[in-house]
Every structure is written in structure tokens, then in C-alpha cells.
Amino acid sequence: FKKILDDNEAKGKRQYIRLDCEKIKDVNAYLALGTKLFIIDVNNISTTGIAIKTIPDLAPAFKPNSEVYNISLSIKRHSFVISGVVYHSSIESGFLNAVILLGKLSDNEQDIIRKFIFGELDNRISMDLDTCLKDTKNYETYKLPENFVPYRSK
């Protein structure tokens, strides 16, 4: 994904938060093609797009600049059908990787994705904070260096 941003000379802050979903079981996607249903792994998600990994047999359906319809996206207990435009696709390590820019989502669908992303990020931060070592330094006996000058904002 970073390569795509670099190729397009994307600079500065990103407007959308993207969540890495490779190890999250609550995000699933399926593609209906004809009478067959294919499982798609969601690598990451934002309210504007998803990065996916699937079998290379689906490469014709994920050509760059092509439209993709009938992707069923399930996030926790919510499911909805999305469509979008394939921004990039490549076959690496025996898998098809693609970036799909999502079409128009309803406000409810955007809200579901946004709440899921922020909930997962909040859980990750909480888990990291819970596993940090507590500060046990006794600051009552701590002396500042003689040449210490406190920073004062203007």
C-alpha cells in the first residue's frame, strides 16, 4: 500500500484512518461471480477503500481501473454489499493482492466502518498500555541537573 502512495507522490497527512485487518476475524468479504462465491481476505480497511488478498484465479475480475460489484462485506454483526473501482492489483507469493476504492457508501455503512476502526484501535492501545511496565521511580528524591532550564512556550 505504501508503494502505491509513493508512486503517486502522496505527501503529508492522510485524511482517512486505515486499519490493518490481517489478524482480525471480525472482517470478512465474499465475491459473488456467476453461481460461485469466493472468500476474500481483507488486509486493511478505511471508509474510502479496502486492500484485499485472494486466489489468483480471480485476477480477471480485479484488473486495474475495472469496476467490481457484489462484494459482500461483513464487519462484526453487520453485513452490506459494496462496489468499487480496482486501483491496483498484482500477484505476489501465489496470491492476488488488490486495492479497491469504494463507491458511494451510505452514512450508516460509513459509520459502521468508522466505529469498527476506532474500536479496534482503542482496544490495541488499551492492550499496549496494560502491558507496559509501571513507572516506579521515586520522583520525590529526584534532583534536576544544575544547568536544567525548563521549556516555556511563548
How much is the pLDDT for 136? 83
If DSSP states are collapsed to H, E and C, what string results for the chain?
CHHHHHHCCCCCCCCCCCEECCCCCCEEEEEEECCEEEEEEEEEECCCEEEEEECHHHHHHHCCCCEEEEEEEEECCEEEEEEEEEEEEEEECCEEEEEEEECCCCHHHHHHHHHHHHHHHHHHHHHHHHHCCCCCCCCCCCCCCCCCCCCCCC
Per residue in 106-149, pLDDT (tens digit) is 999 999 999 999 999 999 889 888 888 888 888 788 788 888 88
Task: Tell me the per-residue pLDDT of 67-78, one tens digit each, with 9 for 90 and over.
Answer: 998 899 999 999
Instruction: Please give the Cα distance from 104 to 63 (Å, whole number).
Output: 20
In this prediction, residue 53 carries a pLDDT of 95
What is the share, in percent, of the chain residues with pLDDT greater than 70?
Answer: 89
Cβ atoms 27, 41 nearer than 8 A: no
Q: Is the pLDDT of residue 91 over 80?
A: yes
CA separation for the pair 17, 4 (Å, rounded): 16
What's residue 12's pLDDT?
Answer: 55
